[in-house]
Amino acid sequence: MLAPLAVAAAIAGAGAGIPQAPGQCGVIRGRLDLWNGGTPVQIWVVGTRRMLGVEEPIPGEVTRLLDQADDRWAISVFGEYRVCAVTRSRPGHRQSVTIVGTDRLEVRPRP
C-alpha cells in the first residue's frame, strides 16, 4: 500500500516548484518546445496541465541543443529548469517566466 501513496505524493508535488508571484523562482521538471505565435518558447511542466511562456533570453545550453537539431521544430528539450516568474500565476492562464538555470537536459523527438 506504500507505493500508491508515494505515487500520489509525487503527482501532488509535480508543480510545486512553479513560482507564484513575479520575482519568485523555483525548479521545475519540464518539456521545452517551440511554438508558432506570440510566445514561441514554452515549457510544459511534467505531471501538470501547466504551460509556461518563456521570455528572452534563452540560456545558451538550450539554444545550442536547438541549433544542433536538423529540425528544431521536431524536438523537445526535457530537463530541470530554474525559472523566475515575470507574471503572477493564475489558474487557466499561461504564466510568463525566464529561465535562469538548467540541469539534466535531454533532447527527444517531439510528441
CB 50 within 8 A of CB 15: yes
Q: What is the pLDDT of residue 8?
A: 39
Q: What is the pLDDT of residue 15?
A: 66
**Residue 15: closest CA among 91, 103, 105:** 91
- The fold adopted by the segment(s) 2-109 is OB fold (Dihydrolipoamide Acetyltransferase, E2P) (2.40.50)
CB 32 within 8 A of CB 43: yes
**Residue 29: closest CA among 19, 49, 14, 40:** 14
Q: What is the pLDDT of residue 108?
A: 96
Q: List per-residue pLDDT tens for the chain, 111 residues long.
A: 444 434 433 444 556 788 999 999 999 999 999 999 889 999 999 999 999 999 999 999 999 999 999 999 999 999 999 999 999 999 899 999 999 999 999 999 998
Q: How many helices (H) and strands (E) does the chain have?
A: 2, 5
Domain extents in the chain: 2-109
- Give this prediction's pTM: 0.83
